[in-house]
Amino acid sequence: MKTNFKLLTLLFLLIFPLAMFAQQDSTVSPDGIEFTDGTISPDSLSFEESPDTVTAQADSSKTTVAATAKAGGSAEGGKKSLWSIFIAGLVGGFAALLMPCIFPMLPLTVSFFTKQSGSRASGISKALLYGLFIIVIYVALGMIITIAFGSDALNALSTNGIFNFIFFLLLVVFAASFFGAFEITLPSSFVNKMDAKSDKGGLVGLFFMAFSLSLVSFSCTGPIIGTLLVEAASKGERLGPAIGMLGFSIALAIPFGLFAMFPSMLKSLPKSGGWLNSVKVVLGFLELALALKFLSNVDLAYHWNWLDREVFLSLWIAVFGLMGLYLIGKIKFSHDSDLKFLSVPRTILAIVVFSFVVYMIPGLWGAPLKSISAFLPPSATQDFDLSTGVGGGPAAHTDGKVKKYAEIFHERGTPKGFDPYYDYDQALATAKELNKPVLIDFTGWNCVNCRKMEANVWTDPAVAKLLKEEFVMAELFVDDKTELPVNEQIVSTYSNKKIKTIGNKNSDFQASAFNSNSQPLYVIVDPNGRVLVPQSGANYNVEEYKAFLQSGVDAFKKKN
């Protein structure tokens, strides 16, 4: 039973990075658009205020689009995003249970309830209340974060360069803590004072017992909690921190009630030992991998060009390679016990990690790596690519025109083999000349689902053929930080805020015309800007996405 439990826990750690990288069903624009009951509040667009009195020019095509666009698309994306945050919190909470600061306390705390209570029912009720107080404490922490920053500020964090860079540094610090460089602790006087109050009886005593657990275990749980809050904030969800802490605290509280009801299960728990520190170190490697994702976000949005796809992959290969060497005992940290032999679970985990490393290596030469494509920089950033492109050659409508903003986006943002426009008006003008519909692709540098769609759906030959031959494509990045020329910086008639960057311009257009701020968003319009079919978000079913494109083509031909 002990071996089975360890196997389950170690295999559980395998899915931890996937939960921490929980895919965003929507990438909130850097402009902090806020939804209320499925509608967008113009005041919540957090563009920089401007003293200028310039007003946005009326765009007839935008007005037409707005009148026919399908509304409410972002509400579902928000719900999905909150679910991903909750699941990440749940996984983080179960991982925290395996920390050296918590795992040894589990049997001691449950034994206290069962032995000190007058009856089994009383012991169970106290353990359940103890778990409930744990949930209340951590959810309150999430709510405090939300109140302190405000919903608009949390939305703005999603692609804000400064905060993403701070998140990167924080996660590196958390990783160093897990590696044993130092411990993140709270002031001992405060911890002792709270612990003393736990001696009181009744509900107050139980509350402070739960509070003491939170404080005493902070050196282990702090990095996990910090990572969850960072991840929740980066998704831009108003309730993200509270939802993340709800999942975390539920996972942390469940064992106390479960073992109080079935105390015989305590005998099946593995003994504390060096394996607990190994869990911390493995999580440290995962923290480093996640930190690189935040650094990549900044690199892409501000065009630093540090982390091209192969550079990012090289760093991940190094991180996971070192994790594999650690698992087989070739690397040892200061707090590690001697590894006399490899257990079966540890061996299996090492095999999986090394297999993942081998899987990533061909990506250095352009392999698509579809299973992790959502987390990698765009394939266009690959300098050395042996692949032959997508769907065999350039787009059919390539006409030699100088495309506006192409020097910014084409080489680093557009999937190889495609040749879209990056300005909506220019795309409409070309569509009129060629008599083709326009596929508007609202995307972002930091949009993980955009990368997944491009790598897993657009690479299908039939989809690629439709995109290239039947449409004029308009790829509009909503989070780009490139400033517009002064004569193009206007005040939006929709939000009354200053539009200063290309990202501001595209995000404001998406919000005002299509009542959505989620990416990717695909809209098919005719050359006059009229929507032909209901818009679509991320859809990883190739046949369904192909049917969506074909429906747009059919609607356009029928209209003509």
Name the band, by pLDDT with cuts 50, 70 and 90, for residue 506.
very high
What domains are defined for the chain? 81-269 (no CATH), 303-387 (no CATH), 406-559 (3.40.30.10)
Residue recorded with tokens 């902070």: 218
Asked whether the predicted pLDDT for residue 54 surpasses 60, the reply is no
Asked whether the predicted pLDDT for residue 47 surpasses 50, the reply is no
pLDDT, position 94: 85
In contact, 500 and 506? CB cutoff 8 Å: no
- Full-model pTM: 0.66
Percentage of the residues of the chain whose pLDDT score is greater than 90: 28
Pairing of strands 472-477, 490-491: unpaired
Between residues 69 and 466, the one the model is more confident about: 466
For 473, the 3-state DSSP assignment is strand
Longest pairwise C-alpha distance within the chain: 85
Name the band, by pLDDT with cuts 50, 70 and 90, for residue 6.
very low
In contact, 234 and 167? CB cutoff 8 Å: yes
Pairing of strands 490-491, 498-499: antiparallel
Supply φ then ψ for residue 214, to 5 degrees. Answer: -60, -40
Q: Name the helix (H) or strand (E) containing 447.
A: none
pLDDT digits (tens, 9 = 90+) for 290-313: 889 889 888 887 888 888 999 999
pLDDT, position 404: 92
Gap between the Cα atoms of 420 and 399, Å rounded: 11
- CB atoms near residue 472 (< 10 Å): 26
In contact, 228 and 245? CB cutoff 8 Å: yes
Gap between the Cα atoms of 6 and 8, Å rounded: 5
Count, in order, helices (H) and strands (E) of the chain.
20, 7
Gap between the Cα atoms of 178 and 157, Å rounded: 25
pLDDT, position 426: 95
The 3-state secondary structure of 84-115 reads HHHHHHHHHHHHHHCCCCCCCHHHHHHHHHHH
pLDDT digits (tens, 9 = 90+) for 538-554: 899 999 999 999 999 99
- CB atoms near residue 530 (< 10 Å): 15
pLDDT digits (tens, 9 = 90+) for 222-257: 777 777 776 666 665 667 788 888 888 898 888 877
Gap between the Cα atoms of 415 and 409, Å rounded: 10
- 101, 102, 97, 107: which is closest to 268 by C-alpha? 107
CA distances, 476 to each of 31, 32, 215, 287 (Å): 15, 17, 46, 32
Looking at every residue in the chain, the average pLDDT score rounds to: 76
pLDDT, position 114: 64
Percentage of the residues of the chain whose pLDDT score is greater than 70: 69
> How much is the average pLDDT of 164-191?
79
Name the band, by pLDDT with cuts 50, 70 and 90, for residue 502.
very high
Gap between the Cα atoms of 10 and 349, Å rounded: 7
